[in-house]
């Protein structure tokens, strides 16, 4: 089956007929604009479109209005200053290859959902001459995608850039021996069925083992069967729960022998080519249980008379680039992992311990290589200048957040007492100045407390706590943000390729959805494509202390875009910064290592800089590390769910205070604030009324009574069922439904609109 492959440049679109029209002040139609954007995803900014159609002067103003109309109508969305068709694949995407067509061409779906409809099909183009990766069915790949013009075939073609580790059809489960001797596999995924294992396929598994199994083809009768492929460990071990997440999400957790050998062979960095900063009293401030320390800070008043009241802040970061060079086994493994993954019971590090916990850990009293930035701020918190340095440092003290805060609050100990006046107080004075700049900048200020799970020695949950948010935390956070900004500014000024940390503004569709929701609470959100964080902060300030404060914070959070990595800059909406790059954690994030290498190359700081080959691959690398970050977040969340479910498995029929954390047509998700765990209440169990889903108000309400439940409502629930290994809990609602003004009225309006639409000649219903 022949396919027409698109991916044309500006000039491809302008035929002789088009050029004639351009000379006659031709303006393209909306369809032509949409077609150009679809066919040129990497050149779809307003300037690119104007150039492609030779639009100048007033025509460019006309184009801006047309593009805004297309966005308002939901036909276009804005991504990284580029326009894209709504529901379109990004130019670089992670794909899963699921089969072949009649001609033997490999077919794939995007790994992550695109919009709400059916996932698009991508035809995989194999490189000619056998060059490049050779994918197969079941592979997960990173690919460049190109829209096609073939209405009968796949919507996209894809060119494979990288093949991830081979995927298999194996699944995880817990091996169980029932009283009658039957062998079963208890599922660890919520949608996974229970499986039966015949004795000949037991493969040495014992009751309670976590196993990898291969399901057989399901029979017409009874449960599907499976055979055990490997025993991964026992559930009685203290790290079994996180092991489930590691295998489920394909997280590399065992370092290959060549990587370990390379790490062990590394020699400590010397003073050669570095500034000697060992006398500067830099110190580390970290969580009390931290095993590695990759950032150190120092501050002092600025002695320049022209900057009265100003401060000089120094942030030193472990020089990982001194040990992890591009193209080595260490580097390849770090890129594959993308980042460290943090579970309550273990850490899966990006780099071996020889690097992360030894050579690059800024230990107290030991010489360590670092890349440092020295920043000067005015009294109002405005950064005046900064400079980067490759140094050798020696940490003056290792402090915990609570320890440093206690010293400032008047309770110093043997460690903090001697450095209180000379080191700690100047740090807090500097933070007070930087906070003025932060307050003027007005980043998004959501109030969503984080919970921490504390475990017993056996790996089970001891308790769940909400750590107090101290000024010590905020100080380190703001110092790191400013260091990240300085890194991005320096690399931009040097025209050095880099990976930005970007965060787009909420899409117009999400803005409108949020606006409709806020109207149900009597709140308003200004319209306009150029939203600012302070507009959201104004809404949050109005509900502070009110009953619906949690609800509004939750809905505003869900309206935000997801942060990611990209070589193209669009700024960071949440932090309200024009340029931002991760620089401060190269031990645990590959993005930071790239920025370090960029600084070394741009400033001539010695060996280990960013190579030309590496710079040319930044688009591919950005997509990869964005995907590994999302993978880590999902694995961490799943592990917390399983730990809490196991903790509460002995409390069936107990009552709990809860908060509604999600509303769907099929029921309510509820969260137990004390534990941070989620469960589900099916809509069929809510009572005798017929419940209707109101998407705008995030609620379910009774058709007859108009009473119901809304996102963030505080309710009382009873625990009915727990599946610990799947992390699933089912609850029963005990709180009576409450009146929801407007819900019943809006429902009948919707019914009326639907009837009117169906009665008009030529009207067609839309599938939602």
Residue 754, pLDDT score: 36
pLDDT, tens digit, 9 for 90 and up, residues 308-334: 999 999 999 999 999 999 999 999 999
Assigned token pair, 438:
């932060």
CB neighbour list of residue 336: distance below 8 Å, 6 or more residues apart = 165, 252
- Among the listed ranges 178-182, 216-220, 522-526, 717-721, which one has the minimum average pLDDT value? 216-220
- Considering the domain architecture, whether residues 537 and 672 belong to the same structural domain is answered as no
Q: Which helix (H) or strand (E) holds 655?
A: strand 655-664
The mean per-residue pLDDT over the stretch 132-147 comes to: 79
Model confidence band, residue 509 (pLDDT cutoffs 50, 70, 90): confident
Handedness of CA 757, 760, 763, 765 (dihedral sign): positive
pLDDT, tens digit, 9 for 90 and up, residues 421-452: 999 999 999 999 999 999 999 999 887 777 88
- Considering the domain architecture, whether residues 272 and 344 belong to the same structural domain is answered as yes
Handedness of CA 757, 763, 764, 766 (dihedral sign): negative
Assigned token pair, 3:
């396919």
Show which of 163, 190, 211 is a domain's final residue: 163
Residue 307, pLDDT score: 97
Cα distances (Å, whole numbers) of residue 176 to 184, 216, 539: 5, 18, 52
Burial bucket for residue 176 (CB in 10 Å: 0-12, 13-18, 19+): middle
Burial bucket for residue 630 (CB in 10 Å: 0-12, 13-18, 19+): middle
Residue 84, pLDDT score: 59
Task: Work out the mean pLDDT of the chain and round it to a whole number.
Answer: 85
Alpha-carbon distance 319 to 370, whole Å?
4
- Among the listed ranges 355-369, 428-442, 536-550, 566-580, which one has the minimum average pLDDT value? 536-550
Residue 134, pLDDT score: 76
pLDDT, tens digit, 9 for 90 and up, residues 529-561: 578 899 999 999 998 888 778 778 888 888 898
Handedness of CA 154, 158, 160, 166 (dihedral sign): negative
Residue 22, pLDDT score: 46
Residue 4, pLDDT score: 34
Residue 238, pLDDT score: 63
- Pairing of the two strands 295-301 and 452-455: unpaired
Residue 81, pLDDT score: 60
Residue 577 lies in a domain: no
Residue 280, pLDDT score: 97
Alpha-carbon distance 573 to 585, whole Å?
21
Residue 756, pLDDT score: 40
- Among the listed ranges 7-16, 88-97, 739-748, which one has the minimum average pLDDT value? 7-16
pLDDT, tens digit, 9 for 90 and up, residues 686-699: 988 899 999 888 89
Alpha-carbon distance 668 to 714, whole Å?
12
Contact 369, 391 (CB under 8 A): yes
Show which of 85, 104, 137 is a domain's final residue: 85
- Considering the domain architecture, whether residues 63 and 99 belong to the same structural domain is answered as no
- Considering the domain architecture, whether residues 329 and 415 belong to the same structural domain is answered as yes
- Considering the domain architecture, whether residues 490 and 618 belong to the same structural domain is answered as yes
Question: How many domains is the chain built from?
Answer: 6
Residue with more model confidence, 514 or 401: 401
Show which of 163, 189, 221 is a domain's final residue: 163
Residue identified by tokens 């009382």 is 716
- Considering the domain architecture, whether residues 659 and 739 belong to the same structural domain is answered as yes
Residue 244, pLDDT score: 84
Residue 192 lies in a domain: yes
Model confidence band, residue 746 (pLDDT cutoffs 50, 70, 90): very low
Residue 200, pLDDT score: 84
Residue 131, pLDDT score: 63
Residue 566 lies in a domain: no
Assigned token pair, 524:
């308003």
Residue 5, pLDDT score: 34
Residue 180 lies in a domain: yes
Alpha-carbon distance 233 to 212, whole Å?
10
Closest CA to 643 of 730, 727, 728: 727
Alpha-carbon distance 214 to 230, whole Å?
10
Alpha-carbon distance 474 to 260, whole Å?
36
- Considering the domain architecture, whether residues 389 and 279 belong to the same structural domain is answered as yes
R_g (Cα) of the chain, nearest Å: 29
The mean per-residue pLDDT over the stretch 96-114 comes to: 79
Residue 517 lies in a domain: yes
Please say if the pLDDT value at position 144 is more than 90: no
- Considering the domain architecture, whether residues 227 and 313 belong to the same structural domain is answered as no
The CATH number of residue 733's host domain is 2.40.50.140
Residue 565 lies in a domain: no
The mean per-residue pLDDT over the stretch 383-407 comes to: 97
- Across the strands, what pairs with 722? 729
Residue 219, pLDDT score: 62
Residue with more model confidence, 516 or 86: 516
Task: Give all strands of the β-sheet with 738-739 in edge-to-edge order.
Answer: 691-694, 699-702, 707-710, 738-739
Closest CA to 598 of 489, 496, 494, 671: 496
Residue 103, pLDDT score: 76
- Considering the domain architecture, whether residues 62 and 123 belong to the same structural domain is answered as no
Burial bucket for residue 759 (CB in 10 Å: 0-12, 13-18, 19+): exposed
- Considering the domain architecture, whether residues 623 and 698 belong to the same structural domain is answered as no
Check residue 446 and report its DSSP letter.
-
Residue with more model confidence, 468 or 43: 468
The mean per-residue pLDDT over the stretch 10-39 comes to: 59
In this prediction the pTM is 0.76
Residue 210 lies in a domain: yes
- Considering the domain architecture, whether residues 102 and 80 belong to the same structural domain is answered as no
Residue 9, pLDDT score: 37
pLDDT, tens digit, 9 for 90 and up, residues 590-611: 999 999 999 999 999 999 999 9
Q: Give the best-scoring range by mean pLDDT among 42-51, 370-379, 519-528.
A: 370-379
Residue 767, pLDDT score: 29
The mean per-residue pLDDT over the stretch 454-483 comes to: 90
Residue with more model confidence, 10 or 572: 572
Please say if the pLDDT value at position 744 is more than 70: no
Please say if the pLDDT value at position 233 is more than 90: no
| Residue 392 belongs to domain spanning | 257-445+477-496+583-634
The mean per-residue pLDDT over the stretch 365-375 comes to: 98
Residue 317 lies in a domain: yes
Angle between helices 618-648 and 329-337 (to 10 degrees): 60
- Considering the domain architecture, whether residues 518 and 492 belong to the same structural domain is answered as no
Please say if the pLDDT value at position 61 is more than 60: yes
């Amino acid at each position: 089956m022949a396919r027409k492959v698109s991916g044309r440049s500006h000039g491809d679109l302008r035929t002789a007929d088009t050029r004639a029209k351009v000379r006659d002040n031709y303006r393209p139609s909306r369809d032509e604009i949409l077609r150009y954007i679809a066919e040129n995803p990497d050149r779809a900014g307003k300037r690119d479109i104007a150039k492609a159609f030779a639009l100048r002067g007033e025509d460019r103003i006309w184009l801006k209005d047309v593009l805004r109309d297309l966005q308002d109508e939901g036909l276009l969305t804005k991504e990284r200053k580029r326009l894209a068709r709504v529901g379109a694949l990004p130019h670089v995407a992670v794909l899963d290859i699921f089969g072949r067509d009649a001609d033997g061409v490999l077919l794939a779906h995007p790994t992550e959902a695109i919009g709400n409809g059916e996932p698009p099909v991508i035809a995989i183009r194999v490189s000619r001459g056998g060059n490049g990766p050779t994918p197969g069915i079941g592979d997960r790949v990173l690919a460049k995608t190109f829209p096609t013009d073939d209405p009968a075939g796949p919507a996209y073609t894809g060119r494979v850039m990288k093949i991830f580790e081979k995927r298999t059809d194996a699944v995880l489960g817990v091996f169980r021996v029932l009283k009658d001797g039957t062998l079963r596999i208890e599922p660890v995924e919520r949608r996974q069925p229970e499986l039966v294992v015949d004795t000949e396929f037991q493969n040495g598994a014992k009751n309670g083992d976590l196993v990898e199994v291969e399901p057989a083809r399901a029979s017409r009768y009874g449960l599907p069967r499976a055979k055990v492929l490997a025993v991964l460990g026992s559930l009685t071990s203290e790290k079994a729960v996180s092991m489930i997440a590691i295998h489920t999400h394909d997280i590399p957790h065992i370092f290959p022998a060549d990587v370990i050998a390379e790490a062990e062979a590394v020699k400590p960095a010397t003073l050669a080519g570095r500034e000697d900063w060992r006398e500067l009293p830099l110190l580390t401030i970290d969580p009390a249980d931290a095993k590695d320390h990759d950032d150190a800070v120092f501050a002092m008043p600025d002695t320049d008379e022209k900057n009265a009241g100003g401060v000089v802040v120094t942030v030193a970061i472990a020089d990982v680039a001194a040990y992890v060079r591009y193209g080595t086994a260490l580097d390849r493994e770090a890129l594959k992992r993308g980042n460290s993954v943090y579970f309550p019971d273990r850490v899966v590090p990006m780099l071996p311990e020889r690097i992360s916990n030894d050579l690059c850990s800024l230990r107290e009293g030991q010489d360590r290589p670092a890349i440092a930035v020295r920043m000067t701020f005015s009294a109002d918190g405005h950064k005046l200048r900064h400079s980067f340095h490759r140094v050798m440092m020696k940490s003056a003290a290792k402090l915990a957040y609570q320890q440093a805060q206690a010293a400032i609050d008047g309770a110093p100990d043997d460690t903090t007492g001697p450095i209180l006046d000379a080191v700690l107080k100047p740090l807090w004075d500097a933070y007070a100045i930087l906070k003025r700049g932060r307050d003027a900048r007005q980043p998004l200020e959501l109030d969503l407390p984080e919970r921490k799970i504390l475990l017993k020695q056996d790996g089970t949950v001891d308790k769940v706590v909400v750590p107090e948010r101290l000024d010590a935390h905020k100080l380190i956070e703001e110092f790191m943000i400013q260091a990240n900004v300085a890194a991005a500014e320096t690399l931009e000024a040097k025209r050095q390729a880099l990976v930005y940390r970007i965060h787009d503004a909420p899409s117009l569709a999400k803005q409108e959805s949020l606006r409709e929701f806020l109207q149900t609470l009597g709140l308003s959100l200004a319209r306009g494509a150029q939203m600012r964080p302070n507009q959201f902060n104004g809404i949050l300030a109005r509900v502070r202390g009110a009953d619906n404060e949690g609800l509004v914070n939750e809905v505003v959070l869900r309206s935000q875009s997801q942060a990611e990595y990209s070589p193209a800059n669009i700024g960071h909406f949440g932090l309200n910064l024009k340029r931002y790059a991760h620089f401060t954690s190269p031990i645990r994030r590959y993005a930071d290592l790239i920025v370090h290498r960029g600084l070394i190359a741009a400033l001539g700081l010695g060996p280990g800089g960013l190579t030309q080959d590496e710079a040319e691959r930044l688009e591919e690398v950005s997509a990869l590390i964005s995907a590994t970050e999302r993978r880590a977040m999902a694995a961490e969340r799943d592990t917390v769910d399983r730990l809490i479910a196991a903790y509460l498995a002995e409390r069936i029929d107990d009552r709990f205070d809860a908060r509604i954390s999600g509303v769907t047509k099929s029921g309510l998700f509820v969260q137990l604030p004390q534990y941070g765990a989620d469960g589900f209440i099916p809509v069929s169990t809510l009572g005798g009324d017929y419940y209707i889903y109101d998407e705008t108000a995030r609620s379910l309400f009774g058709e007859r009574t108009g009473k119901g439940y809304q996102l963030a409502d505080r309710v009382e629930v009873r625990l009915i069922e727990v599946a610990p290994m799947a992390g699933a809990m089912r609850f029963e609602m005990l709180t009576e439904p409450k009146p929801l003004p407007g819900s019943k009225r809006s429902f009948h309006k919707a019914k009326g609109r639907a009837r009117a639409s169906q009665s008009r000649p030529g009207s067609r219903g839309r599938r939602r």
